[in-house]
Amino acid sequence: MNKIHVTINDKACEVEMNLSILEACKSLDIEIITMCHLDCITDVGACRLCLVEIEGINKLLPACTTKVADNMIIYTQTEKLKRYQRITTELFFAERNHVCSVCVANGKCELQKLGYKVELDHIRYPYLFPQCDVDTSHPWYVLDHNRCIMCTRCVRVCAEVEGAYNWGVMNRGSQVRIISDFNTPWGDSTTCTTCGKCVHACPTGAIWPKAIVQGQLDKKPEMINELVRKRKMKL
């Protein structure tokens, strides 16, 4: 196994080649905050929470989509990064309508946990309060755009693990939306297999089963990881 030398937070470390910075940090028990990352599916660098500072590069790079290189000097815990993480989290809250007290995911939400981690007590930016649709057309599940943070974990898990390609992304900027097929109601989808992987992959209360009431949601995103490992073992 080829090993390379990197310096992470002023500590010399030896890691395997071809790992992303995120994977390398994980193997060394260095915590990096992420939202759009899910073990075993492709990383896209959507949430910008895992940004790290690398010496010699004058912009911040996402740890999940940047590979480690020999003699790389990486910082994951600087004050600048912490400030950016808090700003990013505040913008998640300000962009759509996250009303925790009426949300099915209340108390079990990754966005809430992220807020606590980055010490977010209030949002300094004006709320956009967009009018977002709620798609209840599926017989079992609901898609609530108000609570979506566009991590695209549902899109990737549907394409890569289930192979159904039901979910997609349309528009840009604040108009960006997750869509089922060609922007048709989820219930009319000809590709959805109703497997429920997107429900478990979703970090917030944006996709949830109808049989659930406020604060009762219990998601198991680690199940996706297990499924991928089991399926590969069979292959």
**Is residue 51 a contact residue for another protein (CB under 8 A)?**
no
- Residue range at the interface with another protein (CB under 8 A); choices 14-22, 111-119, 188-196, 221-229: 111-119
Strand, coil or helix: 57: coil
Site string for another protein, 205-234 (x = CB under 8 A): ----------x-------------------
- Asked if 205 contacts 161 with a C-beta cutoff of 8 angstroms, the reply is no
Nearest approach in angstroms of CB 60 to another protein is 23
Nearest approach in angstroms of CB 3 to another protein is 38
From the number of C-beta atoms within 10 Å of its C-beta (0-12, 13-18, 19+), residue 108 rates as middle
Nearest approach in angstroms of CB 232 to another protein is 38
Candidates 40, 60, 123, 176; binder of another protein (CB under 8 A) is 123
> What whole-number distance in Å separates Cα of residue 110 and Cα of residue 135?
22
- Residue range at the interface with another protein (CB under 8 A); choices 4-12, 71-79, 121-129, 219-227: 121-129
Candidates 69, 99, 134, 169; binder of another protein (CB under 8 A) is 99
- Cβ partners under 8 Å of residue 169, min gap 6: 150, 152, 155, 176, 177, 178, 179
- Residue range at the interface with another protein (CB under 8 A); choices 17-25, 69-77, 102-110, 179-187: 102-110
**Is residue 103 a contact residue for another protein (CB under 8 A)?**
yes
- Cβ partners under 8 Å of residue 36, min gap 6: 43, 44, 45, 46, 47, 49, 64, 151, 152, 153
Site string for another protein, 74-93 (x = CB under 8 A): -------------------x
Residue 81 identity (one-letter amino acid): L
Token digits of residue 205 = 């209360």
**Is residue 203 a contact residue for another protein (CB under 8 A)?**
no
- Count CA atoms within 13 Å of residue 49 on its CB side: 24
Element holding 200 (H helix, E strand): helix 197-201
Give the binding site for another protein (CB under 8 A): 93, 97, 99-103, 106-107, 109, 112, 115-116, 119-124, 126-127, 129-132, 215
